[in-house]
Amino acid sequence: MTQTATATAAAPRVRPWRRPLKRLVQVRGVDRVVGIMAICLVLLALVGPYLAPHDILASNISAASLPPGSGHLLGTDEQGRDVLSRVLAGARLSILGSMAVVVGFSIIGVLVAALATIGGSVVDEVLMRITDAGLAVPSMVLSLALSAALGPSLRSAMIAMVVTGWPYTARLLRTIMRETMTLPFVEGARILGVSRRRLMFKHVIPNSLDVLIVKWAGDVGNTILVLGALSFLGVGAQPPSVEWGAMIASAQAYVSTAWWAAFTPGMAITITAVTFGLLGESLQLRLNPEVRRHAARSGGSQ
Amino acid sequence: MTVNQLSATSTDPALQVSDLCVDVDTPAGRIRLLDGVSLSVRSGERLAVVGESGSGKSVMARSILRLDDSFHLSGSIKVDGTELVGLPERRMERLRGSKVGMVFQDPLGALNPLCTIGEQVTEPLRVRGVRRPEAERAAIAILGELGVAKAAQRMRAYPHEFSGGMRQRVVLAMALIAEPDLLIADEPTTALDVRVQEQVIDLLHEVSTERDLAVILITHDLGIVAGFAERVAVMYAGRKIQDDAVGRLFAEPAHPYARGLIEAVPRLDQKMQRLVGIPGVPPHPGARPSGCAYHPRCPHRMEQCEVEVPRENPLATGGLVACHLYPADRSAQ
């Protein structure tokens, strides 16, 4: 008896996340390429600034607007700064910034959804009307206004995007959690005397998050676009900080003479947004059994 | 504790339901789902509640645990002397699992796919403040007792690694680990194949005897009832219409509906005859017939049946029946 008990205690605890991860490693084809690209982009965001071959801030007017080649692989911008170096370094703010925004509004969204689910009909009604109001206003316009009001900076833009982003997550998650609440094991746990709060955190939220994982990837792609747009419009990252949207903004005046200075960060944004968008789609296919079954039926799975 | 007190507690029923009514509000108005049901179960007793779909079996079970906020209860439900009707939700939470356990129909759905068996079986103890090692020891012990082989290793497995019958054992372990006095099994075998059904029912029987546990088995499978229960309550349209020892009920069912139910069971030990069904369908809870709700389908209906709800009267042979064929004065002779 004692022996068996110690055996249990000593054994490693297997986390449920390991199974989906293992499944992802076995992925082939387009999904695999997308997955590898997404991982590379995240790595780039982490180490990008250290890969830059040239100083990213030092301007050199005598080397301004040099075309690609000529010692600078992707040319230089209007101040003579190496475009390749700046795009590599900019990955940090663009990608990690977007991820932070997504994590931020996801947490708020999940908490709002959880409260709406267990808080009774009045709480639910109030929270969902606030959510609806958030959904009704175009998020791009609202974050533009908010960020401008807070004083243009990358931080303001990120705060504005968290504030405008959570209603989408809250709406989606509330529906999913409602569904999860009706699953027999949730009721079963209630019958065994589990309190509502523990019910939420132990049983309902973990069993609703698979939907969110899918949404995260797509959200990151979308957020990179919006963050870039905000910076481009001047309410996001300010010069001299290196952010892709801000780079396009400062290079656009010289686009007729040095198109590469605007084109390169533009391509970086496009590639990143498309990669995370596709990642979201392939995760959707792999983690959401309903869609997966549909894909298998129509012969779309590989 | 004196001898008197001891005998007093042992005769106290584990569950005493008196005149329980359950109403629910719908867009079409208030509907009465359960209409004055009285029932008691002694500790160690096995009671089967049978009836067609919609007869109120599950409503009663769910009301005892107060699972639906939309149900308006009146009457009285006493578990081990505690009145549950009107009890604050906080205290109800503490009572669920420790006084009353429940197992459901679908053993796959009853387990959280993201938590290990161990986490789930220990949960009823963990939420009551028992420390992990102690709770795990208790879980391994009860899983072993319920016939889960290598319980200590299997604690770390996930529900999908278990077969249907094994899952039902795990669900049973979860219901029993906090040592309730009463277990409600709401069609626990419907989702299982016949052989496994038998195992689960045998297991329930065993557990009930060993732990002196009162069990309410809700089912529409009379074949299971015969081998399991000591007493049977037959429900129809939100009312209890007969309550009798299992042998008597099967041998000479008093209520015409009970008779119809038993005649509708195909039997292997009798010469093949045409199977007799009950004509008509059970009424919708919102549109129940006046008087005895069974009268439109009843072969013995009298004028009285259409106007007056029959009261529950004791039968001469023992047991209770609610039917005008058995008026109180005649059966009391």
- Inter-chain touch A5–B118, beta carbons under 8 Å: no
Which residue has better confidence, A54 or A178? Answer: A178
DSSP letter (8 states) at residue A76? B
Phi then psi for residue B31, to 5 deg, are -115, 135
What is the pLDDT, as a whole number, of residue B5? 42
> Which residue of B95, B104, B133 is in closest CB contact with A188?
B104
pLDDT at A138 > cutoff 70: yes
Which chain A residue has the Cα nearest residue B109? A184
In total, the C-beta contacts within 8 angstroms joining chain A to chain B are 97
Cβ contacts of A13 on chain B, cutoff 8 Å = 116, 156
- CB < 8 Å from A in window 100-159 of B: 101-102, 104-106, 109-116, 118, 123-124, 127-128, 133, 136-137, 140-141, 151-153, 155-156, 158
What is the pLDDT, as a whole number, of residue A5? 41
* pTM of the full structure: 0.71
Q: How far is CA B323 from CA B195, B254, B309, in A?
A: 37, 9, 8
> Which residue of B112, B118, B140 is in closest CB contact with A185?
B112
Lowest mean pLDDT among A250-254, B90-94, B169-173: A250-254
Question: Mean pLDDT over residues B204-215, rounded?
Answer: 89
Q: How many CB atoms lie within 10 A of CB A214?
A: 21
Task: Give the pLDDT band (50/70/90) at residue B257.
Answer: confident
- Inter-chain touch A8–B95, beta carbons under 8 Å: no
Lowest mean pLDDT among A5-19, A236-250, B54-68, B254-268: A5-19
**B296/chain A closest Cα distance in angstroms:** 36
Which residues lie across from B240 on neighbouring strands? Answer: B235
Cβ contacts of B109 on chain A, cutoff 8 Å = 183-185
The mean of the pLDDT values for chain B is: 83
Task: Give the pLDDT band (50/70/90) at residue A23.
Answer: low
Which residue has better confidence, B210 or B191? Answer: B210
Lowest mean pLDDT among A17-26, A92-101, A175-184, B88-97: A17-26
Which residues lie across from B101 on neighbouring strands? Answer: B183
Predicted interface score ipTM higher than 0.90: no
Task: Give the pLDDT band (50/70/90) at residue A184.
Answer: confident
What is the pLDDT, as a whole number, of residue A14? 44
- Which residue type is seen at B48? A
**B240/chain A closest Cα distance in angstroms:** 25
- Inter-chain touch A193–B96, beta carbons under 8 Å: yes
User: What percent of chain B clears pLDDT 90, i.e. is strictly above it?
Assistant: 9
The mean of the pLDDT values for chain A is: 78
> Which residue of B97, B109, B153 is in closest CB contact with A183?
B109
First-to-last alpha carbon distance for chain B, in angstroms, is 41
Q: What is the pLDDT of residues B291-332, one digit of tens each?
A: 888 888 888 888 888 888 888 888 877 788 888 888 765 444
What is the pLDDT, as a whole number, of residue B268? 66
B178 interfacial to chain A (CB closer than 8 Å): yes
pLDDT at A60 > cutoff 80: no
pLDDT at B4 > cutoff 50: no
Token digits for A120?
A: 């009774």
Q: What is the pLDDT of residues B8-27, one digit of tens each?
A: 444 578 889 989 999 988 88
Cβ contacts of A186 on chain B, cutoff 8 Å = 112
What is the pLDDT, as a whole number, of residue B219? 87
What is the pLDDT, as a whole number, of residue A4? 41
| Parallel, antiparallel or unpaired: strands B15-26 and B71-79 | antiparallel
Question: Mean pLDDT over residues A230-253, rounded?
Answer: 80
Question: Mean pLDDT over residues B213-237, rounded?
Answer: 88
Give me the half-sphere count of Cα atoms (radius 13 Å) on the Cβ side of residue A204: 30
**B97/chain A closest Cα distance in angstroms:** 4
Q: Spell out a b/e string for A258-271, using b for 16 or more CB atoms within 10 Å of the CB, else e.
A: bbbbbbbbbebbee
- Inter-chain touch B123–A11, beta carbons under 8 Å: no
Q: What is the pLDDT of residues A262-282, one digit of tens each?
A: 888 888 888 888 888 888 887
pLDDT at A301 > cutoff 50: no
- CB < 8 Å from B in window 133-192 of A: 183-192
Question: Contact at 8 Å (CB) between B56 and B223?
Answer: no
DSSP letter (8 states) at residue A237? S
DSSP letter (8 states) at residue B106? -
Which chain B residue has the Cα nearest residue A17? B114
Question: Mean pLDDT over residues A84-105, rounded?
Answer: 86
Cβ contacts of A14 on chain B, cutoff 8 Å = 116, 156
Q: How far is CA A118 from CA A128, A174, A191, B120, B214, in A?
A: 13, 10, 16, 21, 33
Question: Mean pLDDT over residues B136-146, rounded?
Answer: 90
Question: Mean pLDDT over residues A94-122, rounded?
Answer: 88
Q: How far is CA A80 from CA A56, A59, A65, A284, in A?
A: 10, 5, 6, 44
Please state, in angstroms and rounded to a whole number, the distance separating the CA atoms of residues B288 and B278.
17
Token digits for A252?
A: 């656009």
- Inter-chain touch B96–A192, beta carbons under 8 Å: yes
- Inter-chain touch B96–A190, beta carbons under 8 Å: yes
**A144/chain B closest Cα distance in angstroms:** 41
Which residue has better confidence, B219 or A260? Answer: B219
- Which residue type is seen at B256? P
- Find out whether the peptide bond into A289 is cis, omega within 30 degrees of 0: no
**A8/chain B closest Cα distance in angstroms:** 6
Cβ contacts of B104 on chain A, cutoff 8 Å = 184, 187-188
Which residue has better confidence, B139 or B97? Answer: B139
A11 interfacial to chain B (CB closer than 8 Å): yes
**B201/chain A closest Cα distance in angstroms:** 20
Please state, in angstroms and rounded to a whole number, the distance separating the CA atoms of residues B226 and A170.
51
What is the pLDDT, as a whole number, of residue B333? 41
Q: How far is CA B302 from CA A68, B234, B310, B322, B324, in A?
A: 102, 21, 12, 14, 8
What is the pLDDT, as a whole number, of residue B9? 47
Using left for φ > 0, alpha for ψ between -120 and 50, and beta otherwise, residue B115 falls in beta
Question: Which of B84, B114, B190 to mutate to test binding with chain A, by most A CBs within 10 Å of its CB?
Answer: B114
Q: What is the pLDDT of residues B26-56, one digit of tens each?
A: 888 888 888 888 988 988 899 999 988 888 8
Question: Mean pLDDT over residues B187-203, rounded?
Answer: 82
Task: Give the pLDDT band (50/70/90) at residue B98.
Answer: confident
Coil, strand or helix at A171: helix
| Parallel, antiparallel or unpaired: strands B71-79 and B239-245 | unpaired
**B51/chain A closest Cα distance in angstroms:** 23
